[in-house]
Amino acid sequence: MPYLTINNLGKTFITPGGRVTQALNNVSLKLDKGHILAVIGHNGSGKTTLLNCIRNSCEYDNGEILINNLDIRMKGPRISSVYQDIDAGIVGSMTTMECLSLVMSEEPSFLFSFPCSRYKNKIYDFLLSVNLAERFSEFEQTLVADLSGGQRQQLAIVMAMMRRPELLLLDEFVANLDPKVSAEILKWTKKHIQEKQITTIMVTHDHELAELWSDYILELHDGRIARFAETENSGGNIH
């Protein structure tokens, strides 16, 4: 049974001028657990709308999204998102360690105090597992606002991974980074995805990245599926 199933998904927007736009038009696909799907297409093709429907931040007009055959609106999986906006999901006034500790804590009182020492060992256990402990130790007490763009994006991705997602949504998550930093982030992100079997959907304008990094490619054109294909990286059959 596929892990993610999308059946006849449709979403319409009405512009302030009254024009009706079909953002998604009967989009259907199936994806097995642990596979990476790259979503490509021109601006306005429906890529980000698809992610927003999956993360339940956008009501869709018709169709269904199922995880393990259950409606995602009734019982959704743990979802983590990383955005093109480097500052989304991180707090500039906190230190790196405070941001990472915030992910570890489920206590409401933690919002008003930052007992980082309570979580430091767990945090570094995770950082060691992704070979980032040494790198993060260099700026653990640095305010997030003072980090470079690459460091902030690494922090955002680590925070997303530490939430132990079952479904990871990546929206142009390395688009603003220089090629060297982007290559490093892509390498360890994919390694973690594969080790933990995290089903992943990545929106990108980079067709070469989509082919090299993902198992499947979904190309949208004006809200419709123009292509759904296996890449050479895929070990399974397309549904």
pLDDT tens digits for 162-174? 888 999 999 988 8
Distance of alpha carbon 50 from alpha carbon 5, whole angstroms: 13
In the chain, the amino acid numbered 12 is T
- Of 39-48, 126-135, 208-217, the one with minimum mean pLDDT is 126-135
pLDDT tops 60 at residue 58: yes
- Distance between CA atoms of 217 and 37, rounded to whole angstroms? 6
Across 7-35, average pLDDT: 92
Q: What is the model's pLDDT at position 216?
A: 96
Whether 33 has a pLDDT exceeding 90, the answer reads: yes
Residue 206 has pLDDT above 50, yes or no: yes
Please give the pLDDT value at position 73.
86
pLDDT, tens digit, 9 for 90 and up, residues 39-50: 999 998 999 999
Distances (CA, A) of 144 to 75, 88, 138, 173: 34, 12, 13, 18
> Which domains does the chain carry?
1-78+164-239 (3.40.50.300), 85-163 (no CATH)
Query: What is the CB neighbour count within 10 angstroms for residue 238?
Result: 14
Query: Which residues, 6+ apart, have CB-to-CB distance to 100 below 8 Å?
Result: 119, 123, 136, 155, 158, 159, 162
Q: How far apart are CA 73 and CA 67, in angstroms?
A: 10
Contact 166, 70 (CB under 8 A): no
Residue 29: closest CA among 231, 174, 227: 227
